[in-house]
């Protein structure tokens, strides 16, 4: 039950981010749900590899390069997902920051509910 609720909340976060950030668009709730699944798969399989490969750059930038990786992965999700579009790196960077903050809040609330 919590997994479905979390999935829907993240889809609403994607829709909110598309509403706030110019250059990001989502066709509807169905597309946002697909985007969440694609982003989860990207974060499971691709993100750890990219973080490991860019570890020296991350070390030199004190971890700030992770924001660049997140933006590039959001752009990849926009390329893969039907009905979801990310136009430009700055839109992806701002969108990934907003999604990260909303995701942090969702995870904090969800962790308190499960205890």
Per-residue pLDDT of the chain (115 residues; tens, 9 = 90+): 788 999 999 999 999 999 999 999 999 999 999 999 999 999 999 999 999 999 999 999 999 999 999 999 999 999 999 999 999 999 999 999 999 999 999 988 867 766 6
Pairing between β-strand 24-26 and β-strand 84-86 as defined by DSSP bridges: antiparallel
Percentage of the residues of the chain whose pLDDT score is greater than 90: 89
Residue 111 lies in a domain: no
Query: What residues contact residue 79 under an 8 Å CB cut-off, 6+ apart?
Result: 86
Quick check: is 113 in a domain? Answer: no
CB 24 within 8 A of CB 91: yes
Return the pLDDT at 115: 62
- Return d(Cα 35, Cα 55) in angstroms, integer: 27
Among the residues of the chain, which ranges form H helices?
2-20, 29-45, 47-53, 55-60, 65-80, 89-114
Judge whether 114 lies within some domain.
no
pLDDT score at 111: 72
Domain contains 85? yes
Indicate the DSSP class of residue 22: T
Total of domains in the chain: 1
Structural domain for 94, as ranges = 2-105
Does residue 18 fall inside a structural domain?
A: yes
Does 81 fall in a domain?
yes
Q: What is the pLDDT of residue 2?
A: 81
97 CB contacts (<8 Å, ≥6 apart)?
A: 67, 70
In this prediction, residue 114 carries a pLDDT of 63
Q: Using a cut of 0.75, tell me whether the model's pTM lies above it.
A: yes
């Amino acid at each position: 039950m919590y997994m479905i609720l979390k999935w829907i909340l993240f889809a609403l976060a994607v829709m909110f981010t598309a509403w706030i950030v110019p250059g990001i668009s989502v066709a509807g709730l169905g597309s946002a749900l697909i985007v969440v699944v694609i982003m989860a798969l990207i974060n499971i399989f691709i993100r750890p590899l990219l973080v490991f490969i860019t570890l020296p750059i991350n070390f030199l930038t004190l971890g700030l390069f992770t924001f660049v990786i997140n933006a590039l992965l959001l752009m990849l999700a926009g390329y893969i997902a039907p009905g979801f579009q990310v136009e430009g790196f700055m839109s992806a960077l701002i969108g990934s920051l907003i999604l990260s903050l909303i995701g942090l809040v969702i995870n904090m609330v969800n962790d308190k509910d499960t205890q």
